[in-house]
Amino acid sequence: MAVFIFFFAVEIVCLGQTSTWLKWESKTPARGSDWRFFQDSVQSILYLDSISGSFQKEGYLEIFRKIEIPAIDSLRVEFFPGPKYAWAEVNTRSIPQELVEGLGPIGKNYPLILNWMDRLILEAEDLGYPFAIANLDSIKLEGDSIRATLNFDFGPFITWDSVGVSGQTKTLPRYVQNLTGIEPGNPFSQKEFEESILTLGRSPYFIIVEQPEITFRTKSARPTFNLRDRNANVLDGIIGLLPNENEPGKMLITGQFDLELYHLGGKGRDIALNWQRLNISTQSLDLMVKESFLFNSPLDLSIGFNLLKQDTTFLNRNFSLNFGYRLKGGGYLKFFTKRIAGDLISTAEYQNATELPDVADFKWNQYGIGWDWNKLDSPVFPRKGYWFTGEFSAGNKEIIENTGIPEEVYADLVLNTPQYQGKIDLQKHFYLKPTWGIMLRASGGFTQNQNLLLNDLFRLGGLKTIRGFNENYFYARSYGYMNIEQRLFFGENSFLMVFADIGILENPYFATSIDKPFSFGAGVNLDTGTGIFRFIYGVGKSNAQPLAFSYSRIHFGYLARF
């Protein structure tokens, strides 16, 4: 006992130095380390304790250490592990059998036993017992073997209380409760709480300001999330005046207007309006309304309307109704129906047609299912993670007879035919350094029908698909393209980038039906605090556009957020 007190006193005195050089070794088994420097005594003690713990996990339960002082700021430590013990049996009869079966055999290696006990505690925490305790008792030595009994105490059963929300946010607690799946009265789950933090972190409406807290009361737990709303709403517009060629002496209003209001009332209600008219004949209109957790159910409801007028050729209208259901872990399942109708604006050039033109009147009732899997670390400009979306739809398309086209065009034509459509999109972000990241995106789609028309093909090209070309430059029956960006960050949402886009498109109405466009360029994305300014310069090549700087495109815009 006197020797032990002497060694303990020497260790305390020596480790009381402000900084220490330390070297340790063990002869049986032969291990050790070279001299290491520690700034203070706390680091030294923790380091020595970790070495002792690693020996104990291997079965050297009688380990002790001896300290020598070769210099005033140096320590040499020798560990004496002693005999190695093997675990012969750990009695788990006091633990409910359903828990034991779910965790598998406990094993006879000490680290495996500790790991099994940790998993036992985690399992109990997810069943409503956050204060569960497991420890080894009645330890018996039989030669070099050890037998013990594992005691387990569930502790009090805890259920979820109502969710608390604090901070500079209009978000309602009920919305957070629906989004996280934390329902009052359900058993407490540590895993559910940790997943809720990830789910809220992916929200485009707000950010988590500080680490969420759990307040335990009598048999209940109340989680509180400190949130701050993002500047997610968008108001942007460009208005231009051009002479109206169809009505001399009058002006034509052109431009673009975007109004997007998100999270109205703090309940995930969104409204968006997008209008674009960049020349005298072509314009588009998009309207969208979304209600999250309809009547506090797990379902989202969104209604959309799209109108596209393509010069003097056709007019398309698209009405959609979508139901969405959130899955745990970032998944989102949706069911949708669309009614798409296309009308010819002028039939003058088809009065002598002998076969169905590439543009015609039609209506298509579409029914589909989609899946969304979001594992990005940020909903705005992520730096790591991935995002996968996909959908498939089918329905009946009907060709509508137009009185401005000869009747014989429709004589031998099957007017009602099935039509199919599918799309996928995958984004992957690589976090290489704090200021350097790479974004990869791959997209593909197809549409199939016996009477496929030009005005129900996909429209691609522009800022969101293949850069270096005008918006909606390409028509495609099937397509695939990849975007590659290297980003050099100089702020949270500000970065310089270089990019390359490459694709393959099929258009049955072109002489060369297969097109392999590619583009490259550079740009900047600048977060001004009140909005996002984006400037991208791109050069592209396709069957109809040569690779030349005279055909380069500049994509730029400023989104004012509030």
CATH classification of the domain holding 439: 2.40.160.50
Q: Which of 61, 80, 99 is the last residue of a domain?
A: 80
* Tokens 């304790």 belong to residue: 49
Q: What would the DSSP string read from start to end of 240-285?
A: EEEE-SSSTT-EEEEEEEEEEEEEETTTTEEEEEEEEE-SSS-EEE
pLDDT at 146: 83
The two structure tokens encoding residue 371: 């899946």
154-169 mean pLDDT: 94
Based on the domain organization, do 242 and 115 belong to the same domain?
Answer: no
pLDDT at 2: 39
* Tokens 């197809």 belong to residue: 446
Cα(144)–Cα(269) distance, rounded to whole angstroms? 67
Based on the domain organization, do 223 and 346 belong to the same domain?
Answer: no
Q: Which of 292, 313, 330 is the last residue of a domain?
A: 292
**Residue 132 or 59, more confident:** 132
Based on the domain organization, do 374 and 430 belong to the same domain?
Answer: yes
Say if strands 385-399 and 362-374 run parallel, antiparallel, or are unpaired. Answer: antiparallel
Whether pLDDT at 164 is above 80: yes
Q: Which of 80, 96, 125 is the last residue of a domain?
A: 80
Q: Please, how many CA atoms are within 13 Å of residue 137, restricted to the half-sphere of its CB?
A: 10
User: Cα-flanking dihedrals φ and ψ of residue 546, to 5°?
Assistant: -75, 160
Based on the domain organization, do 239 and 185 belong to the same domain?
Answer: no
Which residues make Cβ contacts (< 8 Å) with residue 295, sequence separation at least 6?
Answer: none
Cα(532)–Cα(463) distance, rounded to whole angstroms? 15
* Least confident residue range of 20-34, 176-190, 228-242, 540-554: 228-242
Whether pLDDT at 379 is above 90: no
Cα(102)–Cα(119) distance, rounded to whole angstroms? 10
Q: Which domain covers residue 41, as residue numbers?
A: 2-80
Q: How many CB atoms lie within 10 A of CB 367?
A: 12
Total count of domains within the chain: 5
The two structure tokens encoding residue 108: 């006879």
DSSP, collapsed to helix, strand or coil, labels residue 522 as strand
pLDDT digits (tens, 9 = 90+) for 356-374: 888 899 999 999 999 999 9
As a whole number of angstroms, the longest Cα–Cα distance in the chain is 115
pLDDT at 380: 77
Which residues make Cβ contacts (< 8 Å) with residue 307, sequence separation at least 6?
Answer: 284, 285, 286, 315, 316, 317, 318
User: Cα-flanking dihedrals φ and ψ of residue 11, to 5°?
Assistant: -65, -45
Based on the domain organization, do 457 and 471 belong to the same domain?
Answer: yes
pLDDT at 240: 59
pLDDT at 306: 94
Q: Are 315 and 283 in contact (CB under 8 A)?
A: no
User: Cα-flanking dihedrals φ and ψ of residue 489, to 5°?
Assistant: -80, 135
Exposed, middle or buried, 443 (CB in 10 Å: 0-12/13-18/19+)? buried
Residue environment code for 147-164, b if the CB has 16+ CB neighbours within 10 A, otherwise e: ebbbebeeeeebebbebb
Dihedral of alpha carbons 333, 202, 433, 557, sign: positive
Give start and end residues of each alpha helix (H) in 88-209.
97-103, 110-125, 173-180, 190-201
CA distances from 520 to 517, 551, 557 (A): 11, 13, 19
34-57 mean pLDDT: 87
* Least confident residue range of 14-23, 68-77, 129-138, 535-544: 14-23
Say if strands 269-277 and 251-264 run parallel, antiparallel, or are unpaired. Answer: antiparallel
pLDDT at 141: 80
pLDDT at 290: 95
Exposed, middle or buried, 97 (CB in 10 Å: 0-12/13-18/19+)? exposed
pLDDT at 250: 67
Cα(444)–Cα(409) distance, rounded to whole angstroms? 33
CA distances from 225 to 43, 178, 215, 265, 469 (A): 34, 14, 11, 18, 45
Give the model's confidence band at 247: pLDDT under 50 very low, under 70 low, under 90 confident, else very high. Answer: low
253-278 mean pLDDT: 86
**Residue 153 or 61, more confident:** 153
Based on the domain organization, do 62 and 23 belong to the same domain?
Answer: yes
Whether pLDDT at 287 is above 90: yes
Based on the domain organization, do 349 and 372 belong to the same domain?
Answer: yes
* DSSP character at residue 434: T
Cα(461)–Cα(466) distance, rounded to whole angstroms? 5
pLDDT at 143: 79
Based on the domain organization, do 411 and 461 belong to the same domain?
Answer: yes
Dihedral of alpha carbons 53, 55, 57, 59, sign: negative
Cα(400)–Cα(338) distance, rounded to whole angstroms? 18
Q: What is the CA radius of gyration of the chain?
A: 34
In single-letter form, the type of residue at position 125 comes to E
Based on the domain organization, do 13 and 24 belong to the same domain?
Answer: yes
Based on the domain organization, do 422 and 379 belong to the same domain?
Answer: yes
pLDDT digits (tens, 9 = 90+) for 268-280: 999 999 988 766 7
Whether pLDDT at 157 is above 90: yes
Q: Are 399 and 344 in contact (CB under 8 A)?
A: no
Based on the domain organization, do 431 and 499 belong to the same domain?
Answer: yes
441-452 mean pLDDT: 94
In single-letter form, the type of residue at position 112 comes to L
Cα(162)–Cα(151) distance, rounded to whole angstroms? 33
Dihedral of alpha carbons 457, 463, 467, 469, sign: positive
Cα(317)–Cα(340) distance, rounded to whole angstroms? 6
Whether pLDDT at 225 is above 90: yes
Whether pLDDT at 534 is above 60: yes
pLDDT at 130: 93
Whether pLDDT at 4 is above 70: no
User: Mean pLDDT of all residues in the chain?
Assistant: 87
Q: How many CB atoms lie within 10 A of CB 107?
A: 13
CA distances from 28 to 25, 63, 79, 144, 381 (A): 9, 11, 9, 16, 54
Q: Are 132 and 124 in contact (CB under 8 A)?
A: yes
Q: What would the DSSP string read from start to end of 106-169?
A: --SSHHHHHHHHHHHHHHHHTTT-TT-EEEEEEEEEETTEEEEEEEEE-----EE---EEESS-
CA 70 to chain centroid: 56
* DSSP character at residue 450: T
* Tokens 């895993």 belong to residue: 191
Q: Are 188 and 128 in contact (CB under 8 A)?
A: yes
CATH number of the domain within which 213 lies:
3.10.20
% the chain with pLDDT above 70: 93
133-151 mean pLDDT: 84
Task: Give the H/E segment covering residue 57.
Answer: helix 41-57
406-421 mean pLDDT: 90
pTM of the model: 0.76
Cα(398)–Cα(166) distance, rounded to whole angstroms? 54
pLDDT at 221: 95
**Residue 562 or 293, more confident:** 293
pLDDT at 20: 85
Give the model's confidence band at 238: pLDDT under 50 very low, under 70 low, under 90 confident, else very high. Answer: low
CATH number of the domain within which 135 lies:
3.10.20.310
% the chain with pLDDT above 90: 44
Based on the domain organization, do 402 and 457 belong to the same domain?
Answer: yes
